[in-house]
Amino acid sequence: MFLWIILPVTTLIVSVLIGKNNFWGKGKWAFCLFFGMMYMLAEYGTFKMANNIAFHKLNAPEWGMIAAGAILSAIGMLAGSLCHQKRRNQSHMAP
């Protein structure tokens, strides 16, 4: 439940908030990679590592999880950035 529901929803919400409030300017897009790494490490550092320890074998992490987390974060960041842009354009139009 954590890996497939709570973590992706939290990533999406935090990314929307970062984009909406324009935290760190254009540097906010680097956080997509950060969220992707954290998404991969959440699985690898828990479930996969327990499996590695139990069977005395070192399995490589799934690098595709980084892309999945980064894409999810980028979607949220884009949605937040569009909301920020719309709000900024409306404030310039107001008398």
Mean pLDDT of 15-27: 92
> Per the domain annotation, does 91 fall within a domain?
no
SS3 of residue 60 by DSSP: coil
Instruction: Answer yes or no: is 38 within a domain.
Output: yes
> What is the average per-residue pLDDT within 73-82?
96
Is 1 part of a structural domain of the chain?
Answer: no
Identify the sign of the CA torsion 93, 23, 7, 70.
positive
Is residue 62 domain-resident?
yes
Please indicate, yes or no, if residue 2 is contained in any of the structural domains.
no
Confidence of residue 37 (pLDDT cuts 50, 70, 90): very high
Asked if residue 14 is part of any domain, the answer here is yes
Report the predicted TM-score, pTM, of the whole model to 2 decimal places: 0.83
Domain count, the chain: 1
**pLDDT of residue 21 exceeding 90:** yes
Domain range for residue 43? 8-78
Is 33 part of any domain? yes
Q: Is the dihedral of CA 12, 18, 19, 25 positive or negative?
A: negative
Mean local confidence (pLDDT), 43-66: 89
